[in-house]
Structure 1
């Protein structure tokens, strides 16, 4: 019978990583299931000349806090030779190193990354999926490559059953760094106090079956057999080393909030209020597209304000909110800890959430945008010399029945004040989001038309739909000049609907939206 794991100090554990190893890292933004002590120790050891270099690092989504944590602990020249990631936005120093060509860098969709671990675990050749077709992940565009020194194609176009697919090949894993709440003496891991499961099990299985080393960080050690079987998220047969970090926090913002882990229900009346500003206007208008019983996904950014508006209005139980980290139900958190939810109904392993998304389970999604062009293409992944990455955006935007892109019309100093039923544009943003051509295609308008998706683009001053030839302006805010404040700020001509509707004045007041905006079957937004 296989013996139990070794219990080591963090420095001893990271010393087991060899130069040139391929290392999978679990976790998500804001410290969610992040093996923070292991990452910090690995970075420090390398900086002191005692850690391995030339590593290939693999992670599913953004890991960090945008302030030097997470993957930025490893942002040291020479530590990484190649990084394959689902998102880069939480680690700005790593992102800068990508643009400086300090290592090879790839960005694949978050769902692809999470599902690929299962393919590796099962000894299969890789992941075959439609996700990424027509986007920058397609090798006929960029193949997910992010800088000049990244030249090898890791994605292939194949044909099966007379249909095109993308093939993301599997690769071996030498080490993984994962996290749990507790480990018993036999190495069984629980996630009882965590706000998600992510793909801890899939990563551990993939590493174990690759002949690699599974290193788990936990908050505490339990007696052998004391963790109930249904609470074991990763069995001890998949765990080689356990590192205990008693100071482990649930998130960078919370030592522990039981409403995030499903062990306590919080009164929604005590959630932080969403002040009336230009961002709330966007979220309010977006809510109008939801119908009773819809299965909804929320993206990070302005889009996550949809949950706050729904909670304020008392509509949270009229539809099912989900987020890609595996949360179903509840009210998703906003900001750096996006990835957890208050009062979730279910906490699933992330790969299974993406199975549901990829197969068409979403009725509607609300996502952000950095750039939109006249054709209706959207970029969120690489712009203005910044590498942010796609996260779950490609999976979600490509497969939801209705897609609502949410964002301010411009960025960088925009000040648009909603009051008394109108919008006063006092200061225009310095950065235009509506561009002649997106720098990277994260969402393909052409593919969306082929799929028959309904696509809207909601801003604080105007609403657009995707038409047969590109953007169609359908609504404008009261107080906004259509020509000066909208059309003149979009490169090239776009279609304007006749008649052009005015956004409802209720969006621009402090009063509740009321029953006219309540989600309902076959109900459109108020005229």
Structure 2
């Protein structure tokens, strides 16, 4: 039977040098920050626990000191293995200043690795990560010089190159749910995702570690619906109750995120008519009826807004890596939740399907693109964003559309008479000679015959035999001064260079209406 403890009591259970596995996602989604805060306070008051290894599968926090940043104190942490670093700026600074050993591994790899640890298998064998910065022939997932140990190995199995991600024991898993009964069963009825809470708890238990669960409320033994119990009591050691627990950082509870109700589609705020919408509109032209779609964080998630505005959502299935299937993904800090989901499954199961090539088309962001079609979203300048699920998705989807503005840093545009006008050019070029970090490999795409597009507000490129070909340009844009001169390399220019669809640049709906015929190649139509 799990013990009911106050959070300060639970914090004392974490010993120096422990490996902590944290579950949760950005914007407070399944985030046990109430417990993290107690652990942080104990360290600041006593200097313990110290020398921790922190493993977090997704980005956890709000960018304002919560989540993973609770552990970002010199001496408190020795090593961090994170799937996404964007929500923890203080931890980024410790990595950049070489005060911790910093690693970034793909979110899906870490998610699936929790199951390997739970089953006490040696590790995970997969193609995911090959030819990216995770490949040991590049950086091996290391983010700084302090990270010296090799966590990833290149192997050959039956004539095929694979990466081997080694298992490790978990001393403490910190998870979150909605309700705990007196035995310690944990249900998730008010949560917006399941994430990896079950496999994380199993990994800790079978490593000989402990599981600490944060919940909002308590219930009598035997009163929980077993269908809603996500973590059974035999896996839980400690329960900490936080009545003030919010579903996300934006609301105490949104029933449309948990599946309790479905809200009318017109309640969702459409995208403002600006550069983000222009990119999303052009990208949305790649959708086909019946498609199973993944949407990445940032500018790419605007594709769902465009589809909703055009009345296309009933013919599509959107998914995100946190385990959401159907509905419309939430935006900003709470990306990871979804409005009106059809299903909410465990993240490892979602990544099983992704890794197997189940996604028809993925729309993902891009911070840098180079002449060979490589894309960087993980590390640029003094920013460690981390790859999140980007590598898992981009390497396995049947088609990929990268979405970004052509330049950044002050870019201003407007539309007039279905033409694009660049009012002020961005100060930073995104199409560079060579990306700083290879998060997506154009060569890997070439070897696997993966169709790839790069969509911006003023130009569209395709990946052809290891280089970029310009295939579309926005009406009103000058090829030489507003495209080629804003790139650090010269792309091939298609002999059939076309204008982008003028409907993109006019306010109001594009009227994309589809015929009733569904693409026969889409098995789940």
TM band (smaller chain): over 0.9
2:425 maps to 428
Pair 1:15–1:419, CA change in 2 (3 A):
farther
Task: Determine if contact 2:289/2:514 at 8 Å carries over to the other structure.
Answer: no
Aligned partners of 1:176 and 1:374: how far apart in 2? Answer: 43
Is there any run of 5+ residues in structure 1 with no aligned partner, and where?
Answer: none
Q: Structure 2: how far apart are the matches of 1:21 and 1:166?
A: 26
Instruction: Specify which of 405, 410, 418 is matched with residue 408 of structure 1.
Output: 405
Q: Secondary structure at the match of 1:399?
A: coil
2:144 to 135, 144, 147: 147
Residues 2-36 of structure 1 deviation map (CA, whole Å, 9 limit, x = unaligned): xx111001110011000000010010011000001
1:278 matched residue in structure 2: 275
Distance (whole Å) between structure 2 residues aligned to residue 406 and residue 330 of structure 1: 21
The aligned counterpart of 1:75 is 72
Kept after mapping to 2: 8 A contact 1:14/1:51: no
What is the TM-score with the length of structure 2 in the denominator?
A: 0.97
Residue 165 of structure 2 corresponds to residue 168 of structure 1: yes
Match of residue 252 from structure 1? 249
Equivalent residue runs for 1:231-250 within 5 Å = 231-250=228-247
After the TM superposition, which of the residue ranges 316-325 and 416-425 deviates more from structure 2?
Answer: 416-425
Residue 420 of structure 1: how far off its partner (Å): 2.7
C-alpha distance in structure 1 between counterparts of 2:519 and 2:491, whole Å: 29
In the TM superposition, 1:199-214 aligns within 5 A as: 199-214=196-211
Alignment of 1:445-484 (within 5 A): 445-484=442-481
Which residue of structure 2 aligns with residue 370 of structure 1?
Answer: 367
User: After superposition, where does 1:105-504 map in structure 2 within 5 Å?
Assistant: 105-504=102-501
Secondary structure of the residue that 2:462 maps to in structure 1? strand
| Structure 1 residue 148: Cα displacement | 1.1
Distance 1:398 1:243 in 2: 40
Q: 1:298 to 1:239 in 2, by over 3 A?
A: same
Structure 2 spans left out of the alignment, 5+ residues: 521-525
The alignment of Structure 1 onto Structure 2 pairs a total of residues equal to: 520
Q: CA deviation at 1:453?
A: 0.6
- 2:19 is aligned to 22
Q: Distance in 1 between matches of 2:206 and 2:336?
A: 28
Equivalent residues of 1:288, 1:519 under 8 A apart = no
Q: What's the TM-score, normalizing by structure 1?
A: 0.97
Contact 1:117 1:202 (8 Å CA) reproduced: yes
Distance 1:398 1:390 in 2: 12
Q: Considering only aligned residues, what root-mean-square deviation do their CA atoms show, in Å? A: 1.2
Cα-to-partner distance string for 1:405-457 (whole Å, 9 max, x where unaligned): 00101111111113431111011111111111000100000000111111000
What secondary structure does 1:322 align onto? Answer: strand
Q: Which moved more, 1:236-245 or 1:427-436?
A: 427-436
Distance in structure 2 (CA, Å) of the matches to 1:68 and 1:306: 31
Match of 2:63 in 1: 66
Match of 1:508 among 482, 505, 508: 505
